[in-house]
Structure 1
Amino acid sequence: MAVKKILQFGDNILKRSSRRVEKVDEELLKFAKDLKDTLYDGTGIGLAAPQIGVLKKVIFIDLRNETKPILLINPKIIKKIGKEDSVEGCLSYPGYEGIVVRPKKVIVVGKSLNWEDVEYTAEGLLAKAFCHEIDHLSGILYTDRAKKVYKIKEEE
């Protein structure tokens, strides 16, 4: 298992844009496994490559429910429908949450690990996860979009 360190709020890499992936090779396959292992080591539902210090356009989302995990290369939102406030947190900013306006529904395209074109139509939590992780690829954190950010109160 290759669990990587998740970069924390304030790290300059999180504010940089990622590069497009041009092909799937052994290095990318290994990296994809590291991304999955790192997410599964914690409690989050999504992780973007920059969060573990790699400036490549790769995201991994697993809502940990009935939906299948999604690893997406060069993801792009091609359509946004509606808007709603949502509460978001981030593995790179533990202990905090924020109120962010996100689309209710998105259509996302990208490449699979088999280098096949894929398209997802997502609503609710999956739509928010796509928006959050794809923002990471452009150096945008949820705190940049938040109306309000607050510390999570610890339960006694």
Structure 2
Amino acid sequence: MTVRKIVMYPADILEEQCELVSVFDKKLVKLLDDMYDTMIEFDGVGLAAPQIGINQQIAIVDIDDDYGTIEMINPEILETKGEQTDPEGCLSFPGIYGVVTRPSYVKIKAQNRKGKVFTFEAEDFLARAIQHEIDHLEGVLFTSKVSRYLEEDELEGLSEE
């Protein structure tokens, strides 16, 4: 397994619609494993393929809860409800944090590493992380949704979870 280099803004790939995955093979498994190692190495809670320079609809989320690592290939949001407003950051924007409002509930449909379709429901911080990563696959950056940027001293008083 390999830690990949994080693509930093303003790289074009971060604002492109990613291509659907159609081949579920050993290369995909290795890529997912590398994405996990990269996310952990850089202390993230999620990572999307364009953040490591790959224009495919692949994202992972792991917020250290009961769900473990959620691998989403070709994800699609089926339903959202509610609202939450909290700080967000992004590995492709080091040191930049902002307040973002998102739905507090999300239901998605995606494929796993073997191509099997599944649905998944999430609330609160996990829902936020999933939506953030799916946005990446559509070329949407969290900075386009920020209502207010946070200074470093403001962050110290906050704890994400």
Q: CA deviation at 1:134?
A: 0.2
Which residue is 1:79 aligned to? Answer: 79
Aligned runs of 1:3-152 on 2, under 5 Å?
3-152=3-152
Give the root-mean-square deviation of aligned CA atoms. Answer: 1.4
Counterpart amino acid of residue 141 in structure 2: L
Matched pairs, number:
155
Q: CA deviation at 1:72?
A: 1.1
Q: CA deviation at 1:139?
A: 0.8
| Inter-partner Cα distance in structure 2 for 1:65 and 1:120 | 15
Q: Contact between 1:95 and 1:151, CA under 8 Å: does it hold in 2?
A: no
Q: What is the alpha-carbon distance in structure 2 between the residues aligned to residue 121 and residue 146 of structure 1?
A: 24
Letter aligned with residue 134 of structure 2: I
- The 2-side partners of 1:92 and 1:150 are apart by 17
After superposition, the C-alpha distances for 1:29-81 in whole angstroms (9 at most, x for unaligned) are 12111111111112110000000000100001110233211111001111010
TM-score (normalizing by structure 1): 0.94
Q: Distance in 2 between matches of 1:144 and 1:151?
A: 18
Which runs of 5 or more structure 1 residues have no equivalent in the other structure? none
After superposition, the C-alpha distances for 1:7-36 in whole angstroms (9 at most, x for unaligned) are: 112111111110000120122112111111
* SS of equivalent to 1:125: helix
What is the rounded CA distance, in whole Å, between the counterparts of 1:59 and 1:68 in structure 2?
A: 14
Q: Partner of 1:3: helix, strand, or coil?
A: coil
Distance 1:120 1:28 in 2: 21
> 1:134 aligns to what SS in structure 2?
helix
List alignment gaps of at least 5 residues for structure 2.
157-161
